[in-house]
Structure 1
Amino acid sequence: MSGPGISVVICVYTEDRWEDILAAVSSVRAQSRPALETLLVVDHNRALLERLAGEYKEAGNVRVLANAGPRGLSAGRNTGIAASRGEVIAFLDDDAVAERDWLRHFAEGYADPRVMAVGGRTVPVWASGRRPAWFPEEFDWVVGCTYRGLPPGRVRVRNVLGGNASFRRTAFDAAGGFATGIGRDGDRRPLGCEETELCIRLSRARPEAVLLIDDRAVIHHRVPAPREHFRYFRTRTYAEGLSKALVARSVGADKGLESERRYTTRVLPAGVARGVRDALLARPGGAGRAGAIVAGVLAAAGGYAVGSLRARRGGARFRIVRIEDGEEGRAV
């Protein structure tokens, strides 16, 4: 097998996703380009830790670890990075399955030594069987998926999307790990943007670094029924605004909002126009999609304003972890 050895990290936190976790691991083990290892990092859930350890005790290339940092996705990822052996570390969501050539397409990107990160395309799998008519593709990031507005093919980007991404190990040596205090924390408010902040920090530490998205590296991400409703949409977009304020505090508004300005001024107005056109043509969901885009922008803007105010008052805290600090999980 040529190219870099790839470790896959899957962060998990609840037994409610047991079947999803097993499916995610199975999809990694079925890759056309085998992973060096799969690391399951359990976020402060002893019962799940012991159950997974029993499930995979005979699987030599699957390791089960406890999150050694504070509760949350960022610390779980840092635990996996520190415990992994691969030259490249890939991340897969615990409720997603990867297509067979997922790792092969990641590996191809690293043929260029300047490439420090490669992300892929995440396709939603809706619990109801199809996309809700009102749900705009421009906001698929709300459910952790690739959204309309990202360029197709293998292209250079500011940041990869964390649930379907990979990094060279040297990227973490240069920039540190994922910042704790920004991203997800179990079932609390659905914050995000930890991968955005890391990628911007990486580009500052290594200005020559190339970050790519290759839309052939595909995963399929399950969207549970509660996330198909407008209430979750509104909550998640507001939380994204809070997260963007933290990112802007860390790396500055110029870089922290660079891609968002294009998205807000070009992609979203075009989406509203399509929705209005579809409504005029009596196509299902057109008015709902246009309205959802407007509501999403307003909710995100409100979250950003609140987050910025909190940051100025010193109420927002996060920590950038150096992986060599020992943020390593304990094997079971």
Structure 2
Amino acid sequence: MLPSISVIVCTKSRPDELSLCLKALLKQQYAAMEIVVIDILPEDTGTQVLMRNRFPGCRYVSGPELGLAGARNLGIAESYGDILSFIDDGSRPLTGWSRAVAQSFAENPRLGCCTGPVLPMEFKTRAQRLLAERGGFSKGFARVVFGRNSHAPTEAYPVQSWKFGAGANMSFRRSALLRVGGFDASIRAEEDLEIFFRVVRTDFELLYEPRAIVFHRYPRTYKELRRTLHLWGHGYISALLKIAEIDPLYRRKALSEASSWFWAFQLRDRLCGGFTGKRRRFPPGLVLAEVSGGARAMVEYMLSRPRKRGEESLLTPRFFSPFIRLLRRWT
């Protein structure tokens, strides 16, 4: 028997995009499914009017003054499904998406989270092509199970959680999501990456299911793309610092990954072309947008956690030691 699903869509003053998303969800033809819309900006009545006039069968919940993580937590409390699926209001699930998700959980009782491909809805602008060149949201079409012991570990596993999937297409077993504590509202963007880590860390398995396909509209303008990359950088470094703070077992890995993200991935490989010319340089303005997001996360972390006398900060000179080692290797 397949489980019931609650699809939670958090939205902020985008009724046109939301309408297309809900139409795609209503085509899923999965009987045991409810749709819950969390309105982060109810002062703009456009979403409420849309829901009342065109989608009365979907549940509307007002969530004023909540960030995305807080809105998702509200969706958990307001829904009833055994499986909690989260997609963006700018996403369009492919027909069969919900059934692929449900079957994945039904087949594996240890499965705590299921993600899937997030494919571009269009390639009309240079900004959209650049995001695809950056890697976009999708992680390919291979079916992969991630777990503490069921996946070949790498040096950065499992803190390099961007490899697990994307928040625009993620589903959780309700019991697993409640056990790990829901979403961390202190992380302002990319909180999905931090919760992916917690799911795997808590001995649940995470599945990347290529049949569970969602289409997503990439940013159309350069300004929108800069903002997206800035949030990516901010969210990823925030997640790594949170892991380092709360999990002594993975502290060294998380800080090493944060350091490598700044110095090796962003500055060496993407901004400077790897110093060898073999890697294609990414537009400097976009690299700096993402790096500035990560730097802002570090500053916010240090300002938000005043130390007691004698207590050592996570961001000691050791944080920068990988950069020094890389410089010695290259020179």
Counterpart for residue 36 of structure 1: 33
The alignment status of 1:180 with 2:185, answered yes or no, reads yes
* Amino acid aligned to 1:51: V
Return the offset for 1:115. 0.6
Counterpart for residue 80 of structure 1: 75
Counterpart for residue 230 of structure 2: 238
Q: Quick one: distance in 2 between partners of 1:129 and 1:90? A: 29
Return the offset for 1:181. 3.3
Q: Quick one: distance in 2 between partners of 1:266 and 1:32? A: 43
> How has the CA–CA distance of structure 1 residues 57 and 23 changed in structure 2, closer, same or farther, with 3 Å as cutoff?
closer
Counterpart for residue 16 of structure 2: 19
The alignment status of 1:290 with 2:285, answered yes or no, reads no
Query: Are the equivalent residues in 1 in contact too, given 2:262–2:291 (CA < 8 A)?
Result: no
> How has the CA–CA distance of structure 1 residues 259 and 33 changed in structure 2, closer, same or farther, with 3 Å as cutoff?
farther
Return the offset for 1:170. 0.8
Return the offset for 1:74. 1.1
Q: Quick one: distance in 2 between partners of 1:270 and 1:152? A: 25
Return the offset for 1:201. 2.4
Counterpart for residue 295 of structure 2: 305
CA offsets per residue over residues 85-132 of structure 1, 9 Å max, x none? 110011111111111011111112211111100011111123x63655
In the alignment of these two chains, the number of paired residues is 277
Unmatched 5+ stretches in structure 1: 184-191, 278-286, 317-332
Q: Quick one: distance in 1 between partners of 2:143 and 2:67? A: 31
Counterpart for residue 322 of structure 2: none
Query: Are the equivalent residues in 2 in contact too, given 1:162–1:195 (CA < 8 A)?
Result: yes
Query: Are the equivalent residues in 1 in contact too, given 2:116–2:210 (CA < 8 A)?
Result: yes
Return the offset for 1:255. 5.5
Counterpart for residue 89 of structure 1: 84
Q: Quick one: distance in 1 between partners of 2:253 and 2:7? A: 29
The alignment status of 1:170 with 2:175, answered yes or no, reads yes
Q: Secondary structure at the match of 1:117?
A: strand
Identity percentage of aligned residues: 24
Return the offset for 1:245. 2.9
Q: Secondary structure at the match of 1:225?
A: coil
Counterpart for residue 2 of structure 2: 3
> How has the CA–CA distance of structure 1 residues 212 and 255 changed in structure 2, closer, same or farther, with 3 Å as cutoff?
farther
Return the offset for 1:50. 3.1
Counterpart for residue 152 of structure 1: 141
Query: Are the equivalent residues in 1 in contact too, given 2:10–2:38 (CA < 8 A)?
Result: yes
> How has the CA–CA distance of structure 1 residues 101 and 262 changed in structure 2, closer, same or farther, with 3 Å as cutoff?
farther
> How has the CA–CA distance of structure 1 residues 114 and 138 changed in structure 2, closer, same or farther, with 3 Å as cutoff?
farther
Query: Are the equivalent residues in 2 in contact too, given 1:237–1:299 (CA < 8 A)?
Result: yes
Query: Are the equivalent residues in 2 in contact too, given 1:49–1:65 (CA < 8 A)?
Result: no
Pairing 1:177-216 to 2, within 5 Å after superposition: 177-183=182-188, 192-204=189-201, 206=202, 208-216=203-211
Bigger CA radius of gyration: 2
* Amino acid aligned to 2:53: E
Q: Secondary structure at the match of 2:216?
A: strand
Q: Quick one: distance in 1 between partners of 2:287 and 2:55? A: 47
Return the offset for 1:160. 3.2
User: What is the TM-score with the length of structure 2 in the denominator?
Assistant: 0.72
Query: Are the equivalent residues in 2 in contact too, given 1:244–1:256 (CA < 8 A)?
Result: no
Counterpart for residue 99 of structure 1: 94
> How has the CA–CA distance of structure 1 residues 171 and 223 changed in structure 2, closer, same or farther, with 3 Å as cutoff?
same
| Equivalent residue in structure 2 for 1:247, among 231, 236, 239 | 239
CA offsets per residue over residues 17-70 of structure 1, 9 Å max, x none? 3222111111111114345200111113141353134225642xx1111116x4
Counterpart for residue 326 of structure 2: none
Q: Quick one: distance in 2 between partners of 1:258 and 1:55? A: 52
User: What is the TM-score with the length of structure 1 in the denominator?
Assistant: 0.71
Counterpart for residue 322 of structure 1: none
Root mean square deviation of aligned Cα: 3.3
> How has the CA–CA distance of structure 1 residues 310 and 236 changed in structure 2, closer, same or farther, with 3 Å as cutoff?
same
Q: Secondary structure at the match of 1:4?
A: coil
Query: Are the equivalent residues in 2 in contact too, given 1:40–1:63 (CA < 8 A)?
Result: yes
Q: Quick one: distance in 1 between partners of 2:86 and 2:117? A: 13
Q: Quick one: distance in 2 between partners of 1:66 and 1:133? A: 32
Pairing 1:62-141 to 2, within 5 Å after superposition: 62-67=58-63, 70-110=65-105, 111-126=107-122, 129=124, 135=130, 137-141=132-136
Counterpart for residue 314 of structure 1: 304
